[in-house]
Amino acid sequence: MSQDHATKLNDFLYDSVYSAAVGAAAVAIFFLISDLLQGQPLFTPSLVGSALFLGLDPASVGTVHLGVIGLFSLVHFAAFFALGATTSWAIQREPRLPARSMVLAIALFASLEGGVLIFDALFAPGTLAAVGHGEILVANVLAASSMALSLRHAHGVPFSRPASSPAQALG
């Protein structure tokens, strides 16, 4: 294996795992806080895991099932890894992509929303309604933004200071 090929593979794996961890953590932390504020710690991953692994109707889940939280966490991270790997592949094809944080964030957000819709339709119908689309939208915005910014940082794209006046912005 050539040095260049090994470097590209290492960069691919680093971007995939790093962005997956950041995105998955953003969603997990958001729902942990949301669940805590509602007095039901870990309820959301339990609800989704119960629908996915136990076949329960999401609307009927009322208690936390600790066993399915771990299983769902693995599925959750695997889904984010797939998104991270796809994003890493795109960055290897278009190295300027991390500098276009907004475009990257929008693409990641669209992918996350599409993934939620597919998951709800194929694997755990009713989950979207039970969790609430508003909360999922917020979680996905946080995940997409976090992933885009972490990839920008990982690729050494600096954050420039905004110009203090319109004249400085032009000059």
- CB neighbours of residue 113 within 10 Å: 16
Distance CA 52, CA 58 (A): 9
Would you state the pLDDT for residue 33? 98
Q: 0.85 cut: is pTM over it?
A: yes
Would you state the pLDDT for residue 169? 45
Q: What is the DSSP string of 101-122?
A: HHHHHHHHHHHHHHHHHHHHHH
Q: Kindly report, residue by residue over 29-62, the tens digit of the pLDDT.
A: 999 999 999 999 999 999 999 999 999 999 999 9
Would you state the pLDDT for residue 165? 52
| Band of pLDDT at residue 170, cut at 50, 70 and 90 | very low
Residues 45 and 69: beta-carbon distance below 8 Å: yes
Q: Kindly report, residue by residue over 147-156, the tens digit of the pLDDT.
A: 999 999 988 8
Residue 2 gets which letter from DSSP?
-
* Secondary structure of residue 160 in the 3-state scheme: coil
Q: Kindly report, residue by residue over 71-96, the tens digit of the pLDDT.
A: 999 999 999 999 999 999 999 999 89
Rounded to the nearest 5°, which phi and psi values hold at 45?
A: -65, -30
- 148: nearest Cα among 76, 90, 79: 90
Q: Sign (positive/negative) of CA torsion 110, 113, 117, 123?
A: positive
- CB neighbours of residue 138 within 10 Å: 15
